[in-house]
Chains A and B, each alone.
Chain A
Amino acid sequence: MVSTTNALTYLKTSSWRMRRTSVVGFMLMAPLALLIVLFLIVPLVRFVVLSVDNREIAQALSQTAAALETWQGADVPGDAAFAAFNRDLVRETEKGSIAKLGARLNFFQGGMNSLIRKTITRSSDLEPTRTAFEAVDKRWGDLKTWRAIKLATNPAIPEYYFNALDLRTADPTAMVSVEVKPEAQRVYMRLWLRTILVALLVVFVCTAIGYPIAYYLSNARGLAFAVAMGMVLLPFWTPLLARIASWVILLENGGVINSVLVALGLVDDANRPQILHNLFATVVVMSYVLLPYAVLPTYAVMKRVQPSLFKAALTLGATPLRAFLTVYLPQTLPGVLAGGILIFVLSFGFYLTPELVGGPSGSLIGNLIAYNFSKSLNWGLAGALATMLLLVIAAAALVLRAVSPQPEQES
């Protein structure tokens, strides 16, 4: 009886203790977690919402939407739709939000912004008929214009995701109707493929250079180790812009590398190869920036590998290559994979490096996100691109977690 009471008391205290411990632990993390939720998670969620949200524009086009309710989309709609659209234009002009409407419509059909701007300068004396509108600009008699307007009357749209894949809605009156954009307007598929290609190339280059360095580090001692490790870490702590500027000086036409090649007679002075402002430069400089991420995880794993196994394989008569491939490589693979996936994830989101050294052929999806966000102010498309990019990164991060070596438990 006494013992039962004791046990009960103990249980009570322990659960109270545990609850207290968890509350304290939570309270300790809460401030930073809150900061990150407020300034990272909430904006990211907002990006996702923005990538489908069209309520504001649908609201601005409410009259037009009603007039186009039963429109079949085969021909330019009748005067009723023009009249409704004109009422929307007049109201939005009075509200002072017409510029926004024009800018947003422009994302559905290039040129709508200037068309709206041109039209509203006459909207006070404009007759709400097709003839009058067409007199202002012949594009009002174009089916494309009205399809864009019809599309913009939906409060939620998948259009930005289509655009992010070089697709577009073919017939806005149908439920689902997607077509590939004309050749001259395609951008993003090319950029996605290029971004994947660059990420893979960078992973390859970093691994090829990083693996032997990690091996060397794991065996080096004393000063040699300190110097080599210092060289690996130093770029980490050099300002990013300084590193990029130095690569510009190295790679440009009259730059250090080309000049050395010419001096060695390997390259004709008049035909210096272009190695800056293209894909090559993007890959080289990104590899340079990310190389420490390949070296360090591999090094960490190699430190824990038992050299005796490798030696045993050699003693048992395996060739060094065979011993390496069957014994050492599999043991160090987790480090290589962890570094590789980390580099893949990080290089997917690169922006500044390609912006400064890549030229048009070396720019990546991150550059287009920045362009759409701050130059063309197409936050919907930027949101769609960002969401897709984050999904790729999340997938890679999950793989990373699965393969990454577990940190050694301290005994």
Chain B
Amino acid sequence: MTRNFLLSSASAALLAASAGGAVAAEVNVTSLGGAYQRSQELGYGQAYEKAGNKINWNVYSGGLGEVRSQVESGNVIWDVVDMNNADSNIGCAEGIFEKIDLAEVTEPAPDGAGVDDYLIKRPNDCAIGTVIYSWTYAYNKQVFPAEKPTVVADYFDTAKFPGKRGIWSSPTQAIEMALMADGVPTKDIYDYLEENGEEAVDRALAKLKALHEDRNGGLVFWNGGAEPPELLAKGEVVMSTGWSGRFYDAVVKEGAPIEQVWDGQIMDFQNFVVLKGAPHLDSAKDFLRFATATDNIAETVRYIPYAPWRKSAGDKIMANEPWSEDGKTMVGPYLSTAPANMTNYLEMGSDYWQNHQDEINERWIAWKSGL
């Protein structure tokens, strides 16, 4: 009896899967952990598995190191990897990702739009755009009950806002923020960096070093995206850089006393790429088509307020607010693209980072070891 039931439900699942045009697939997906990865698992991961497929979720902390060594040594064990524009550009140029025909993995929008549904220009022939997020900073409200940090320079102002600061253990965002606070106009940051080369980087690092050595300051480095809200909630730091959705998650879900500062936010674009020689190439494409479908990518926004690249998904969310897990929070104001959050913003300089990442990383390691 039980066995019959199991058999019939298994075949029903199979039928459902084949009816949906999908074949039972297994795919290894590597993402960035924490609330972000949870949004992917709940947004479409579970639905994809319900359709008879299997996803092996992996966590990594970004960067191309692991990806490069997998491809170069011919030991590719990941299929799909989540990364931003700059990294996907580098990897695609190096030939370590599969080139993917965007149309082939784009499920048409309800209005029939295909690749035109993407609001943002594709950075390269390998990347499949997913969502937009921001590099911001946040502070602990309880520590500063009176005057609150409002602009990017306040992150460096230890006289007004004494206490330790959390900062990412890689140079992205830190360099830009330091220069903004040091008086370089936001929109000119990357031009300034391009023109002044090492000198500009040194200026930023000097500013950060001063913050670290300040008696009322001090830097605490974080690795994983879940750390900044944790550091803030525990009182380890009074301010921390971080990813916008992670702060939202701590505030809305856990009621943490955290407030985000959008001034000087750096808007960044996230993609999926498929590694060259991926063990499940066809399944990976099938997964990408599923994950980026209008309804599915929109579903992730319920769990983390990152605006989808696809116009149809954004429209769906706006038309159905409050679009959040708790059913009452409006997500619109938390998106990187909300007009109120874009009064002083910078678009992540993918070209700059693509071209200078290697030497800045080297300089950063030396700088950090001397702290």
Measured CB to CB, the nearest residue on chain A to B93 is A117
Q: Does B96 contact A (CB under 8 A)?
A: yes
Q: B68 to chain A: which residues have CB within 8 Å?
A: 103, 377
Chain B interface size, under 10 / 10 to 19 / 20 to 34 / 35 or more: 35 or more
Measured CB to CB, the nearest residue on chain A to B90 is A117
Q: Does A87 contact B (CB under 8 A)?
A: no
A277 in complex: contacting residue of B220, B363, B365, B369, CB < 8 Å? B220
Q: A307 to chain B: which residues have CB within 8 Å?
A: none
- Chain A, 359-384, CB within 8 A of any chain B CB: 359-361, 363, 368, 371, 374-377
**Given contacts A110-B362, A186-B366, A359-B221, is CB(A253)–CB(B236) below 8 Å?**
yes
| Bound complex: CA A252 to CA B359 (Å) | 33
B304 CB → nearest A CB, Å = 26
Q: B218 to chain A: which residues have CB within 8 Å?
A: 274
| Bound complex: CA A4 to CA B366 (Å) | 78
Measured CB to CB, the nearest residue on chain A to B367 is A184
Q: Are A111 and B356 in contact (CB under 8 A)?
A: yes
| Bound complex: CA A106 to CA B64 (Å) | 15
**Given contacts A99-B94, A252-B236, A277-B220, is CB(A114)–CB(B371) below 8 Å?**
no
Q: B359 to chain A: which residues have CB within 8 Å?
A: 106, 110-111, 114
Q: Does B41 contact A (CB under 8 A)?
A: no
Q: Are A374 and B66 in contact (CB under 8 A)?
A: yes
Q: Are B234 and A377 in contact (CB under 8 A)?
A: no
Q: Are A114 and B69 in contact (CB under 8 A)?
A: no
Q: Are A96 and B95 in contact (CB under 8 A)?
A: yes
Q: Are A375 and B63 in contact (CB under 8 A)?
A: yes
Contact with B along A256-282 (1 / 0, CB 8 A): 000000000000000000100100000
| Bound complex: CA A96 to CA B96 (Å) | 10
Q: Are A359 and B356 in contact (CB under 8 A)?
A: no
Contact with B along A333-358 (1 / 0, CB 8 A): 00000000000000000000000000
Q: Does A5 contact B (CB under 8 A)?
A: no
Measured CB to CB, the nearest residue on chain B to A102 is B94
| Bound complex: CA A277 to CA B231 (Å) | 12
Q: Are B65 and A376 in contact (CB under 8 A)?
A: yes
Measured CB to CB, the nearest residue on chain A to B170 is A375
Q: A277 to chain B: which residues have CB within 8 Å?
A: 220-221
Q: Are A185 and B362 in contact (CB under 8 A)?
A: yes
Q: Does A306 contact B (CB under 8 A)?
A: no
B209 CB → nearest A CB, Å = 11
Q: Are A190 and B65 in contact (CB under 8 A)?
A: no
Contact with B along A154-178 (1 / 0, CB 8 A): 0000000000000000000000000
Q: Does B361 contact A (CB under 8 A)?
A: yes
| Bound complex: CA A368 to CA B221 (Å) | 16
Q: Are B358 and A184 in contact (CB under 8 A)?
A: no
| Bound complex: CA A254 to CA B230 (Å) | 12
| Bound complex: CA A361 to CA B368 (Å) | 8
Q: Does B357 contact A (CB under 8 A)?
A: yes
B82 CB → nearest A CB, Å = 18
| Bound complex: CA A253 to CA B238 (Å) | 11
| Bound complex: CA A106 to CA B359 (Å) | 8
Q: Does A100 contact B (CB under 8 A)?
A: yes
Measured CB to CB, the nearest residue on chain A to B355 is A114
Which 4 A-B pairs give the minimum distances between C-beta atoms?
A110-B359, A99-B94, A111-B359, A375-B65
Can you offer 10 A-B residue contacts whose CB atoms are under 8 A?
A99-B96, A102-B94, A114-B357, A121-B93, A190-B369, A253-B164, A253-B235, A360-B369, A374-B65, A375-B65
Q: Known contacts A184-B202, A359-B220, A377-B65; can you find 17 more A-B pairs with CB under 8 A? A: A98-B95, A103-B68, A110-B358, A110-B362, A114-B356, A117-B90, A117-B94, A185-B362, A186-B370, A190-B370, A254-B234, A360-B371, A371-B365, A375-B63, A375-B65, A376-B65, A377-B72
List residues of chain A with CB under 8 Å of any chain B CB: 96, 98-100, 102-103, 106, 110-114, 117-118, 121, 184-187, 190-191, 252-254, 274, 277, 359-361, 363, 368, 371, 374-377
